[in-house]
Structure 1
Amino acid sequence: MTAQDPLLITAVFAINTIVFLLYGYDKQQAQRREWRISERVLLLSSIAGPFGAFAGMQFFRHKTKKTIFLLSIPLFLLMQVAGFLLLIGWTW
């Protein structure tokens, strides 16, 4: 499997889209003062979809003051970018 594999690209896009929507849904639920998605689930989903998490935080203005999110989401982003660079065989 390579970084250019259409299945991999589709999966990464789908996962990040779902994570983005999770952040939007949780923000909506917070505004309605209804049942919320736990921070643990949001963070764990962010490991798989950090681009969606980052976009969701910015677009929905959600979890932008929580230190754990401010530190972990960029870390997850860097880890995923590094993983893709390794996958395509980029050397430092």
Structure 2
Amino acid sequence: MLIILVLGAWFNLLPKFIAILYLVLSTVTFIIYWFDKRQAKKAEQRISERTLHIFALIGGWPGAALAQQLLRHKSHKRPFRIIFWFTLMANLALFITLLSPAGKALLIWLNQFS
């Protein structure tokens, strides 16, 4: 997904700031997952699952997915994974909408900011 975003921005199919936003949010989300995993190992105060889901929902889901795989964090808890997949589908639906004819006007408007 991140590769698609970068290529879309490179070929001016998407505003550059959308690709940058996803990259930044994914990096921040990965770091938050890493920190939560570290806190879990140390039996210290954790980051709430709600916060993890919010970061995934606002665009950090690629970083969350990567963290779940690489760090083995939150990868076995079924209710968490179900909500995570809903955040991923919501992001993909928005992305597909932006690429559709209906989203073209919004993309043109957003492009003026990049």
- State whether TM-score is above 0.5: yes
Q: CA deviation at 1:30?
A: 0.8
The answer on whether the counterparts of 2:53 and 2:87 sit within 8 Å (CA) in structure 1 is: no
Q: TM-score, normalised by structure 1?
A: 0.84
Counterpart of 1:87 in structure 2 is 98
Q: Return the match for 1:64 from 70, 75, 79.
A: 75
Q: TM-score, normalised by structure 2?
A: 0.70
Any unmatched runs of 5+ in structure 2? Answer: 1-11, 103-114
Q: Return the match for 1:44 from 30, 50, 54.
A: 54
Q: Would you say 1:8 and 2:38 are equivalent positions?
A: no
Letter in 2 for 1:51: P
The answer on whether the counterparts of 1:3 and 1:87 sit within 8 Å (CA) in structure 2 is: no
Counterpart of 1:53 in structure 2 is 64
The answer on whether the counterparts of 1:22 and 1:42 sit within 8 Å (CA) in structure 2 is: yes
Aligned length: 90
SS where residue 45 of structure 2 aligns?
A: coil
Q: Identity of paired residues, percent?
A: 30
Larger Rg: 2
Greater relative CO (CA pairs within 8 A, separation 6+): 1
Provide the aligned C-alpha RMSD in A: 1.9
Moved over 4 A (4+): none
Q: Return the match for 1:28 from 30, 38, 48.
A: 38
